[in-house]
Amino acid sequence: MKRVKTSFWITALIITLWFGIGPLFAYDDPTSVKVIMHLGYPVYFPLMLTCFKVLGVIAIVIPKIPNRIKEWAYAGFAIDLICASIGFIVIDGFIAELLLPITAFTIVIINYFCFSKIQYSNA
C-alpha cells in the first residue's frame, strides 16, 4: 500500500505542475494561443480551460474534497486530454506534439488508479 500512496503523490505532483501551475503561465502566451487557434478553438478557450484545470488540481490534491468531486475532476482531465489528442490528429495528423496529451493522459490514469486503490483499501 505504501508503494500505491507514493505513486499517487508523485503523479499528483506531476499533475499539479502540468495542469495547475503550467497553464497559469501559459494561457495568454502567444505560442499557446497560436496552438489553440490553430486547433480551431475560440480565443477565450485557454483562460476557461486554465480555470477548470486549476480547480481540477485542487479537487484531486486536497484530501478533504469529496470523492465524487474528485471523480469529476478526473473525468474532466480525461475529456480534455482525449479532445486535445483528437484535435491534433484531425488537424495535423500524427505529429510529435501528440505525445504531450498522451503522456499527460497516462499520468492522470495512473493517478486515478492509485486513488481508487487507496479509497477501496480504506473502505
Contacts of 59 (CB under 8 A, 6+ apart): 65, 69, 70, 72, 73
Q: Could you tell me where the DSSP H helices lie in the chain?
A: 2-15, 22-26, 30-38, 45-61, 67-92, 99-122
The pLDDT tens digits of the residues spanning 33-51 come to 888 888 888 888 888 888 9
> What's the average model confidence in pLDDT over 77-106?
90
Question: For the chain, how many structural domains are there in total?
Answer: 1
> What's the average model confidence in pLDDT over 88-98?
85
pLDDT exceeds 70 at position 123:
no
Separation CA 82–CA 69 (nearest Å):
20
DSSP state string for 85-106: HHHHHHHH-S-GGGHHHHHHHH
In this prediction, residue 66 carries a pLDDT of: 95
Which domain covers residue 8, as residue numbers?
A: 2-122
In this prediction, residue 62 carries a pLDDT of: 94
